Structure 1
Amino acid sequence: MPARHLLYLDANALHSFRWQQGSVVPTGRYTADDEGIKAFADAVRRAGSGLYTLLVDVVEEGFHADTLPSVRGPDRAAMLERKRSQTFFGTPFSGALSRGIDRSGRRRDERFLFVALTRPAVVEPWLQVLRAVNAPLTGIHSVALVIDSLIQRLAAPAERCLLVTYAPGGMRQTFVDQGHLRFSRLAPNLHAITPDTAARCAGEILKTHSYLISQRMLPRSGQLPVYILSDAADHAHLAPLLNASDERIYHHTDIAELGHKIGLNAPISGSDATPLMLHWIARESGLLQLAPANERRFFRVWQARQAIIGAGVALCAAALLFAGKLWFDTEAIKESTEQLRSDAAYTQRSLSQLQAALPVLPAPLDDLRSAFHALDAFQAGKASPRPWLSHLSVALDAAPELALQSIQWQSDAGDTPSKGVAKLRLPPQMAVDRRAMVDTAERFLADLARPPGIAARVTRMPVELQSDRAFRSSTDPAGQLPAPTLEVSFALGAGQ
């Protein structure tokens, strides 16, 4: 957190304080002359960075209540700026407090209280010191506006009341109407209650009461509650001079108790309400301030810088969190990988042990695997040699002299015919009778070709039928000739 420098300005001097850990610590007093202003400039340069807040407690301030049309947006800001310039001409230190909607008339109007410091020359030398070092000024506050916010902390204030406070600037009397500031008056040189000043303090209360009645802020009939903010010892000097009547009733409000209620940690000595008001300014952020925008430009720059730094810190924190998440995810993946490797090694060892316990295979494993794959492919096919073999069997039944030696069957994919080659052996005694072998082959081929549509042909005859050789019977003995063979091929049509 940046250092908070709280400044209290009255007609005679500037008092500087440092706000830390809920306490208001005095750091210096500078008289309102060239020497005091120079000493303050040296103190500001030594203090270095920090935020400055100015509380002004002078007689030269004005209050004006008015009713304006209820508008919003840029029109509202322009209307209030124009009204402040008309009401308090010649001072840039002014502000407007909204007092709610006025429902007494037909038009929807809004009530305002305009407040201003009517003598800028009182504030200007001190602001010039802050400008010279580019010190960020959070705002310029009026004691009356601070009391307007602070009055809500009192114990059930009346509808109309007068609050009396003491500070180095003097005795301030603030009139509150309907719970809000209506008027404030400062009596200089009455900054404390002593036996010598008690009578003057009581007289100032009577003057203020008479003024409020003359301005018709108070009815002539009615009792005005007067709250005196002081400590018990000082109030003992004033109490004998305060005579309750039908017009006024006096209440003592302990300043230390109020300070504790608003969170002020440091003890308050005497009836000086300055630490209490400065602590309230430092604590509350929504108070109305009177400084124009150009006086607060360095504070706006500081706010923008803090926002950028905060955004950078947030992005850095987010990046660190993301990096931490990635690191944890990486570690989890590493652990999972190691676990998978361990499981794979264990599975491989178990598989090796199981394979070692198996009996010896009759053939290499790759050959068996290929054979099973071929068997699976064969079983998955639609074609079967059964019809082709059945047809061959019928033809062999009609030719009992033929003996089957071997077959080669095949079937292509799709609806192609089932075809094959059969190798047959004729009786050995038929080897000497070539005509009989040819007749037997032709009869067998005719049986294979039934019914029509079956393509059957002889691929190898038992005799040679070349055109350049004579067709005759052999005269060799039958026992010396090999058994003749016949080779035929036929194909079944689709659906047979």
Structure 2
Amino acid sequence: MKRLFYFTGYRLSVLYWKGKELVGSSSFEPTEAGLGEFRNYLSQTENIPGKFLVDVIEEDFRNEKIPHVGRNDRNSVIGRLIDRYYRASQDYCYSEVIGRDKKGRKDDIVLLGAMTNPQLIQPWLSVIDECEVPLSGIWTLPIISKKLLKVIKATSGCVLLVSQQVNSNVRQTLFRDGKLISSRQSIINQDIEDISNIGELAEPEVNRTIEFLRAQNLVAVD
């Protein structure tokens, strides 16, 4: 049995898998009563190790160029960048070398990412810790979504992956040759009772994202 804690910025869902089959789920509201129900739930169910998945608007990505150096020196440089940009979120940061500059001294291109408001998940993590439930890690949706690229056969070139996890938002994640470049979540005014117009509502957001990516020279004009 596998367990996943899934946080979408408001409520927390707990999902259970047996093999590749989803066999159960429960959701909890971010209220005092909801946290109490979550605490009771963890206390009364089997203590299965879990993973924590986050999908929130409060996440930032940036590309930085750093000298091409050894691992230890690279980690030191990245550590200083994280301290500069994400000092309040240092425990919730991600970094990955995603390429090399083709000009000049051929610097490494590093992706930095962070939850900019980690306090959102603290109440849930506190209950998990209180109930002594082991967590193998905390991931965000953009980071793990690159695993979908092989499934949809889109591992080369620029790919803008558009997905919807909750009715009010769409997420747009840019990949280049299978590497995560950037991701953002946009709010849309979708009727929770009617999802047939998702394409119409998402199109303006996708167009705005493409224009922004072009302005940042992250994708070609064509």
Cross-structure match for 1:176: 175
1:155 alignment partner, one of 146, 153, 156:
153
CA distance in 2: counterparts of 1:158 and 1:98, whole angstroms: 17
Measured at CA, do residues 73 and 204 of structure 1 come closer, stay the same or move farther in structure 2, by a change above 3 Å? Answer: closer
Instruction: Decide which structure has the larger Cα Rg and report it.
Output: 1
Instruction: Please give the secondary structure, in 2, of the residue aligned with 1:162.
Output: strand
CA distance in 1: counterparts of 2:62 and 2:175, whole angstroms: 14
Measured at CA, do residues 101 and 128 of structure 1 come closer, stay the same or move farther in structure 2, by a change above 3 Å? Answer: same
In the alignment, is the contact (CA less than 8 A) between 1:173 and 1:186 conserved in 2? yes
Q: Percent identity of the aligned residues?
A: 24
**Alignment map for 1:255-266 (pairs within 5 Å):** none
**Alignment map for 1:310-325 (pairs within 5 Å):** none
> Which structure features the higher share of strand residues?
2
Structure 1 residue 158 displacement after superposition: 4.8
1:47 alignment partner, one of 45, 48, 54:
45
Measured at CA, do residues 78 and 47 of structure 1 come closer, stay the same or move farther in structure 2, by a change above 3 Å? Answer: farther
Partner deviation per Cα, 1:171-200 (whole Å, 9 max, x = no partner):
111112233211112124659872344421
Measured at CA, do residues 17 and 163 of structure 1 come closer, stay the same or move farther in structure 2, by a change above 3 Å? Answer: same
Where structure 1 has 5 or more consecutive residues not aligned to the other structure, the ranges are 223-496
In the alignment, is the contact (CA less than 8 A) between 2:98 and 2:180 conserved in 1? no
CA distance in 2: counterparts of 1:217 and 1:191, whole angstroms: 33
Partner deviation per Cα, 1:376-411 (whole Å, 9 max, x = no partner):
xxxxxxxxxxxxxxxxxxxxxxxxxxxxxxxxxxxx
Partner deviation per Cα, 1:255-300 (whole Å, 9 max, x = no partner):
xxxxxxxxxxxxxxxxxxxxxxxxxxxxxxxxxxxxxxxxxxxxxx
**Alignment map for 1:71-90 (pairs within 5 Å):** 71-90=69-88
Please tell me whether residue 206 in structure 1 is matched to residue 204 in structure 2.
Answer: no
Cross-structure match for 1:61: 59
Instruction: Please give the secondary structure, in 2, of the residue aligned with 1:50.
Output: coil
Instruction: Please give the secondary structure, in 2, of the residue aligned with 1:43.
Output: helix
Instruction: Please give the secondary structure, in 1, of the residue aligned with 2:64.
Output: strand
**Alignment map for 1:328-343 (pairs within 5 Å):** none
TM-score of the two chains, using structure 1 as the length reference: 0.41
Instruction: Please give the secondary structure, in 2, of the residue aligned with 1:216.
Output: coil
CA distance in 1: counterparts of 2:30 and 2:219, whole angstroms: 37
Instruction: Please give the secondary structure, in 1, of the residue aligned with 2:220.
Output: coil
Instruction: Please give the secondary structure, in 2, of the residue aligned with 1:207.
Output: helix
CA distance in 2: counterparts of 1:54 and 1:122, whole angstroms: 13
CA distance in 1: counterparts of 2:154 and 2:8, whole angstroms: 30
Cross-structure match for 1:258: none
Structure 1 residue 88 displacement after superposition: 1.3
CA distance in 2: counterparts of 1:19 and 1:56, whole angstroms: 18
CA distance in 2: counterparts of 1:174 and 1:88, whole angstroms: 21
Instruction: Please give the secondary structure, in 2, of the residue aligned with 1:80.
Output: helix
CA distance in 2: counterparts of 1:191 and 1:153, whole angstroms: 30
Instruction: Please give the secondary structure, in 2, of the residue aligned with 1:167.
Output: coil
Structure 1 residue 12 displacement after superposition: 1.9
Which segment drifts farther, 206-215 or 184-193?
Answer: 184-193
CA distance in 2: counterparts of 1:160 and 1:125, whole angstroms: 38
**Alignment map for 1:343-354 (pairs within 5 Å):** none
CA distance in 2: counterparts of 1:155 and 1:191, whole angstroms: 32
Structure 1 residue 80 displacement after superposition: 2.2
Cross-structure match for 2:186: 187
Structure 1 residue 216 displacement after superposition: 2.7
2:33 alignment partner, one of 26, 32, 35:
35
Structure 1 residue 61 displacement after superposition: 0.3
Structure 1 residue 154 displacement after superposition: 2.1
| Aligned amino acid, residue 61 of structure 1 | E
Instruction: Please give the secondary structure, in 1, of the residue aligned with 2:88.
Output: coil
Q: How many residues align?
A: 218
Measured at CA, do residues 75 and 157 of structure 1 come closer, stay the same or move farther in structure 2, by a change above 3 Å? Answer: closer
Partner deviation per Cα, 1:8-39 (whole Å, 9 max, x = no partner):
10122111101211112332011122222221
| Aligned amino acid, residue 85 of structure 2 | T
**Alignment map for 1:395-414 (pairs within 5 Å):** none
Cross-structure match for 1:21: 19
CA distance in 1: counterparts of 2:191 and 2:171, whole angstroms: 9
Measured at CA, do residues 153 and 141 of structure 1 come closer, stay the same or move farther in structure 2, by a change above 3 Å? Answer: same
CA distance in 2: counterparts of 1:191 and 1:25, whole angstroms: 28
In the alignment, is the contact (CA less than 8 A) between 2:155 and 2:177 conserved in 1? no
In the alignment, is the contact (CA less than 8 A) between 1:167 and 1:191 conserved in 2? no
CA distance in 2: counterparts of 1:177 and 1:40, whole angstroms: 39
Structure 1 residue 67 displacement after superposition: 1.5
Instruction: Please give the secondary structure, in 2, of the residue aligned with 1:54.
Output: strand
CA distance in 1: counterparts of 2:164 and 2:184, whole angstroms: 12
| Aligned amino acid, residue 213 of structure 2 | L
Measured at CA, do residues 47 and 55 of structure 1 come closer, stay the same or move farther in structure 2, by a change above 3 Å? Answer: same
Structure 1 residue 77 displacement after superposition: 2.9
Where structure 2 has 5 or more consecutive residues not aligned to the other structure, the ranges are none
Instruction: Please give the secondary structure, in 1, of the residue aligned with 2:14.
Output: strand
Instruction: Please give the secondary structure, in 2, of the residue aligned with 1:67.
Output: strand
Measured at CA, do residues 168 and 93 of structure 1 come closer, stay the same or move farther in structure 2, by a change above 3 Å? Answer: same
CA distance in 2: counterparts of 1:219 and 1:14, whole angstroms: 38
| Aligned amino acid, residue 217 of structure 2 | R
CA distance in 1: counterparts of 2:71 and 2:213, whole angstroms: 35
Structure 1 residue 142 displacement after superposition: 0.8
**Alignment map for 1:245-394 (pairs within 5 Å):** none
CA distance in 1: counterparts of 2:63 and 2:148, whole angstroms: 20
